[in-house]
Amino acid sequence: MKRAYKYRFYPDTQQRELLERTFGCVRVVWNHVLQEHSRQYRETKTSVSISSLNKILTDLKNTEGYEYLKEVASVPLQQAIVSHQYKAFGNFFKKNAAYPTFKSRRKSKKSAAFTGTSFRYRDGKLTLAKMEKPLNVIWHRALPDEAKPSTVTVSKDKANRWWVSMLVEETVQHLPPVDSEVGIDWGVSKLATLSNGKVYENPRLTKIYAKRLAQAQRAVLTKKRGSENRAKAKLRVTRIHAKIADSRKDFLHKMTTEIVRENQAIYLQDSNYGGMTAKAKPKLDEDGTTYLPNGRAAKKGLSKAILGTAPFMMTEMLKYKAEVYGRTFALTPRFEVTTGLCSGCGTLNKLQLNQRTLRCAHCGLVIDRDLNAAKNILAQGHRANTAIAV
């Protein structure tokens, strides 16, 4: 299978200037070709062939005023249209994505892809086309033995950090089989409660960095618009956001890897995270109480707390890691009752949101509500998995 290894690197002045020019040229080529592509689509309702895209790029290089496109490596420009834009239109026609949009100088991601002979990787040193010296890459982990990168993608994030991602072909061994299966109840106060009793607390990273973030945001307001000091203050805010995102991703990687290693089958309820965090206009009833359109009382900060747990990221990590390491991962039905249903006898009990313990009225079982939900998710996933096997 193909896997990407991402590393941070520190370019020198010459490399930085060349890469910045490359990013700009990629954006110009993308926008120009997209304009021509869109014109033909409006006229014929069909996509443009790869040979036509290459011809557009060739003609653009020979157009007066665009001579600077020849100063950078040609492969990233070709990849921007032949690979990325052609694939974007393919996803659009398959109704898997929205219509491709133009790239902005300030807001769009800065990246460039190098393939084939446009880079050289030898003896742990990576050199890109048009560069005299190899990049100063921080190899925090080694590439697989005898790995030959097929694509090298260089990018710069909004915190002014430089990254290089290397795509290699790798053989991944499945983990040894184990007997345990687990159901996971996702939450906000407790990030994940497992049916075996294990609990992963929510690190609440946004709250930890809230004071520093507020101070940095206030500092931006004191600086004159358009000044260098304002740009530096905004960069400090961006770097704090990047720190929060990196810490959250690191925590989720460690948690999901541990869950996948210890369990043969993992089940998680399919929740409507998008609906939970959607912005909705409050409505007032006759008594003057505020309610959301879905009937739940409006609670300030709920969306921020939910998004702070990154449920989409956690689900995707569990999904691809289970596939890579030979585990089973499945989502149980969204509208199945899990919290109020007694995991011991199956009796449905009424449970208020502030009640953290379930006391079954039928069998007398006393159990934490999150653990009870996780056990029900495990039972539902096991039943579904057994039915598919039969």
Question: 10 Å Cβ neighbour count for 352?
Answer: 7
3-state helix, strand, coil in the chain (%, to 5): 45, 20, 35
Q: Does residue 218 belong to any structural domain of this protein?
A: yes
pLDDT tens digits for range 347-380: 888 888 788 888 888 888 888 888 999 999 999 8
Given pLDDT bands bounded at 50, 70 and 90, which one contains residue 139? Answer: very high
Q: How many domains does the structure of the chain reveal? A: 2
Flag whether pLDDT at 89 surpasses 90.
Answer: no
Flag whether pLDDT at 293 surpasses 70.
Answer: no
Given pLDDT bands bounded at 50, 70 and 90, which one contains residue 278? Answer: low
Q: How far apart are CA 4 and CA 298, in angstroms?
A: 42
Q: How far apart are CA 19 and CA 197, in angstroms?
A: 50
Question: Domain check: are 154 and 271 in the same one?
Answer: no
Shortest CA distance to 156 belongs to which of 23, 272, 277? 23
**Degrees to nearest 5, angle at CA 5 with 320 and 102:** 85
Flag whether pLDDT at 136 surpasses 50.
Answer: yes
Q: Does residue 248 belong to any structural domain of this protein?
A: yes
Q: Does residue 88 belong to any structural domain of this protein?
A: yes
**Burial classification of residue 115, based on how many CB atoms lie within 10 Å of its CB (0-12 exposed, 13-18 middle, 19 or more buried):** middle
Task: Output DSSP code: residue 179.
Answer: S
Question: Domain check: are 235 and 135 in the same one?
Answer: no
Question: Domain check: are 71 and 200 in the same one?
Answer: no
Pairing of strands 162-169, 119-122: unpaired
Higher pLDDT, 43 or 4: 4
Q: Does residue 174 belong to any structural domain of this protein?
A: no
Cα 176 to chain center, whole Å?
Answer: 28
Pairing of strands 290-291, 283-284: antiparallel
Higher pLDDT, 221 or 40: 221
Question: Domain check: are 210 and 315 in the same one?
Answer: yes
Q: Does residue 175 belong to any structural domain of this protein?
A: no
Question: 10 Å Cβ neighbour count for 286?
Answer: 5
- pTM for the full predicted model: 0.83
Q: Does residue 280 belong to any structural domain of this protein?
A: yes
Would you state the torsion angle of the CA atoms of residues 325, 327, 328, 330, taken in this order, to the nearest 10 degrees?
-50
Residue type, 69: L
Q: For the chain, first and last CA: distance in Å?
A: 30
Cα 182 to chain center, whole Å?
Answer: 24
Residues 57-74: b if buried by 16+ CB within 10 A, e if exposed:
beebbeeeeeeebeebbb
Q: How far apart are CA 261 and CA 182, in angstroms?
A: 12
Question: Domain check: are 141 and 194 in the same one?
Answer: no
Question: Domain check: are 164 and 203 in the same one?
Answer: no
Question: Domain check: are 157 and 213 in the same one?
Answer: no
Contact call for residues 240 and 220 (beta carbons, < 8 A)? no
Flag whether pLDDT at 15 surpasses 80.
Answer: yes
Higher pLDDT, 148 or 387: 148
Question: Domain check: are 225 and 165 in the same one?
Answer: no
**Which residues, other chains included, contact 229 with Cβ-Cβ below 8 Å and sequence gap of 6+?**
223
Question: Domain check: are 153 and 10 in the same one?
Answer: yes
Question: Domain check: are 17 and 88 in the same one?
Answer: yes
Q: Does residue 301 belong to any structural domain of this protein?
A: yes
Which range marks the domain in which residue 141 is found?
2-169
Q: Does residue 133 belong to any structural domain of this protein?
A: yes
Question: Domain check: are 162 and 296 in the same one?
Answer: no
pLDDT tens digits for range 302-343: 777 888 888 899 999 999 999 999 999 999 988 888 888 888
Question: Domain check: are 133 and 258 in the same one?
Answer: no
Contact call for residues 113 and 153 (beta carbons, < 8 A)? yes
Of 169, 199, 224, which one is at a domain's C-terminal end? 169
Task: Output DSSP code: residue 340.
Answer: S
Flag whether pLDDT at 208 surpasses 50.
Answer: yes
Q: How far apart are CA 77 and CA 128, in angstroms?
A: 14
Among 106-110, 134-138, 314-318, name the one with the lowest average pLDDT. Answer: 106-110
Of 118, 146, 169, which one is at a domain's C-terminal end? 169
Contact call for residues 223 and 230 (beta carbons, < 8 A)? yes
Of 136, 169, 202, which one is at a domain's C-terminal end? 169
Q: What's residue 295's pLDDT?
A: 42
Tokens for 85, please give them: 């834009």
Tell me what percent of the residues of the chain surpass a pLDDT of 90: 52
Shortest CA distance to 269 belongs to which of 346, 314, 333, 199? 333
Tokens for 219, please give them: 């500092």
Flag whether pLDDT at 38 surpasses 90.
Answer: no
pLDDT, mean of residues 38-42: 82
